[in-house]
Chains A and B, each alone.
Chain A
Amino acid sequence: MLARSAECLYWIGRYLERTEHLCQLLGVQIGALIDRPVRELTFGWHRIYKHLQETPPSAGQEDEFTFSEDETLADAFTLTDDLTFEAGNKYSIWSCFAQSRENARQVRHCISEDMWSSLNLSYLRVRNATLADIWQDEPELFYVDLVRDVNTFFGMASVSMYRDEGWDFLQLGKTIEHLQLRVNLLAIQSQDSIPLPSDGSRDFEWTSLLNAYRANGAYQQNYGIDINGEDALDMLVSNADLPNSLMYAITRTDERIRALDLAPDAKSGESALRISGRLKSLVDHEWPDSDDRTRMLLLISNLADRLHGQIAEAWFNYRNENAARQF
């Protein structure tokens, strides 16, 4: 497959995974506007922006969010608009859809008509929407629909896409993005770096995260009804059966990389394989006995970033003189 086409497919996977991730967080956050206390809402906005390493609009300094109900609601509209429709925000849902569609436009010949139509329709729907429109009704449903759109796209891919390298790179992009976003989110949360009022309980931060990841049922099955932060973190990192866990993403990533043919840049390809193996080993063997979980999460985050770099070097942006020739 053409290296640039493979890269486009990889980025389609990444952008759509990012879209789904953000929609899940925003869905929970906006749902919380109905009845949750201001401190929880403030925490939720902090968490979203911090793990994306983005600065919220109008936040001239740290902790500008106030704790007055009225002001928080006003901020919620602005922040939701920024994270949903702001073209200047590279993490906004609009940007993610536009980028994934732009990549798909370049490889329409490599994906099925169903995949293209599904993505194009979602793109048109987001393009034609405004926050003012969706805010009047049940805004969280907008995000539920978008998650469904993303899942429809990947469902279409799974039933219509030939299982060649294109499929592998699409899935690889999806799992790498999954890994990077979630490990950053967990690292932010476990660092206690987000300020809370002194009277605040921390239970809700894990409850909302389990909600966003649709992992409440799995948690109850494993640990019972009381939410404990340590247990929730452990499950979201190392439970291999949970589709939103880091271990799940790491395992799928490793499978995809090993399924690929030898990389044109063999050195980077081998490095990618070693990093992928190291990630598995970290979560499998070192995580359970780790005392410093934040440090472990930061290490996983760092390795995930390096893995992305090595994949790009190995298969997409390799130097011509390093590449083997085929006749």
Chain B
Amino acid sequence: MATIQERVTRSFTNEGISFTLYDEDEATERIIPIDAIPRIVPQNEWLTIEAGLKQRLTALNRFLHDVYHDARIIKDGVIPVDIVKSCPQYRLEMHRVTTPNDIYVGICGTDIVRTNDGYRVLEDNLRVPSGVSYMIANRRAVKSNMPRTFRQNRVMEIEHYGRYLFETLRDLTWTQVGEPSIALLTPGVFNSAFYEHVFLAHEIGAALVEGQDLVVNDGFVYMRTTGGLKKVDVIYRRVDDDFIDPLVFRRDSALGVPGLMHAFKLGNVSLVNAPGTGVADDKSVYVYVPDMIRYYLSEEPILENVKTYLCRRKEDLEYTLDNLDSLVVKTVGGSGGYGMLIGPQATHEERDSYARGIRADPANFIAQPLLQLSRSPCWIDGALRPRCVDLRPFILQGTETKIVSGAFCRVALPEGSYVVNSSQGGGGKDVWVVRD
């Protein structure tokens, strides 16, 4: 096992499969740690996860269309208006804007954890979810270093993700015929997920563009090529809403394209995911996703949420403040594992300080019980050791909803850690969905 682990790690180093960490002074390119022991998911469990994820994304897209049009779900009292309207990711600019097939989220990466009660959805990532390149890189490294084991276990393939992604982006162009001109918009080489942007551009044959490579003329978007300006049909954007168009969102953005939103609203270019999707993965809105499923699909949720307390509700606020030592508290707009309080691991002073923050702005916080995350065996320091893991499958929705049978499994590598984020010492491992 040590030899396999060493080979797998070396292959990541040689191939430069990296992400970028930032501190105050500099950006450091780091090789993402990979554990060679795959996480096993039986096919029957996977089929439930898959059905639940498809159901969830369908409801979320219906919600996004609704909330930017007639807002029936609010008028019918299913979701409080203040939860939606106070969300910073709710974009007035998207009001009455339609998208091809009414799909706002074409690419979703949902975080799932396995608890004592089964699989639970921890978070929907509906803006610019990342990690899929590591899912495929993990698979390639592990498969090539333990081919016999891989073959014997009848593991389901994932490497057609690129084709699925291409088909989804084609579905989300307005014409939906022929070979679309696709551009993947990246913030640039200093972005922490730049490796993934390059990887995906290669997988789908897209041009990897930065804002400076695009120009809007007469309501159409063009990219600067060596043959002149070439029209772009669909942009898979990996730039946050705030930065995509300085004429509409942040004026100081140098990452975006002036006039992009105008071209988008005219229906001359598709943006995947559409701007404004963040309103549906806000941590306050998350609480209502099961209700969305019931409201739009008249179905019961296949995958349940993690029990969540909204501090904007008086009773939830009191419960949270009374039980800080057993809860995990997060800001509603936070990500990457930063800025959260893990109550059982925090000191008395840290909890007091956090409580003051909650009291000052309750609507900015949610709380969840500390989950007993499932652990998976990892090869660490020459021995098998248990570590907390989660699962991030990627769901694609165009004219149909597609998922490859696998996921990016994030691992909290430091002993006793519950934080799986790559930026905080997390690593990854391959996920083997094994046929029954």
Contact = CB atoms under 8 A, between A and B. Distances in A.
A162 to B, nearest CB: 12
Contact of B213 (A3, A105, A116, A323): A3
Contacts of B213: 2-4
B225 interface: yes
B16 A116 contact: yes
B149 interface: no
A102 B18 CA distance: 13
Nearest to A7: B226
A320 B229 contact: yes
Contacts of B223: 2
A117 interface: yes
Query: Which of B14, B213, B223, B229 has the largest number of chain A CB atoms within 10 A?
Result: B229
A108 B198 contact: yes
Given A2-B207, A5-B208, A120-B16, A324 B229 contact: yes
A326 B231 contact: yes
A109 interface: yes
Contacts of B215: 320
B226 A109 contact: no
Interface string B167-201: 00000000000000000000001000010001101
A260 B13 CA distance: 36
Interface string A94-108: 000000001001111
A134 interface: no
A117 B15 contact: yes
B230 interface: yes
A253 B13 CA distance: 36
B209 interface: yes
Nearest to A260: B226
A316 B213 CA distance: 10
Contacts of A283: none
B229 A108 contact: no
A6 interface: yes
A259 interface: no
B210 interface: yes
B323 interface: no
Contacts of A327: 231
Contacts of B226: 1-3, 6, 165, 169, 260-261, 263-264, 315-316
A128 to B, nearest CB: 11
Given A105-B198, A323-B228, A120 B14 contact: yes
B14 A326 contact: no
Nearest to B198: A108
Contacts of B347: none
20 contacts: A1-B225, A1-B226, A1-B227, A2-B207, A2-B208, A3-B224, A102-B189, A108-B199, A116-B16, A121-B14, A124-B14, A260-B226, A261-B227, A264-B224, A264-B227, A315-B226, A320-B224, A325-B228, A326-B230, A327-B231
Interface of A: 1-6, 102, 105-109, 113, 116-117, 120-121, 124, 165, 169, 260-264, 315-316, 318, 320, 323-327
Given A102-B189, A320-B215, A325-B222, 6 more contacts: A4-B210, A106-B189, A108-B198, A116-B16, A165-B226, A318-B224
Interface of B: 13-16, 189, 194, 198-199, 201-202, 207-210, 212-213, 215, 217, 222-231
The 10 closest A-B pairs by CB, nearest first: A109-B202, A324-B228, A109-B201, A264-B228, A108-B198, A323-B228, A3-B224, A326-B230, A2-B207, A325-B229
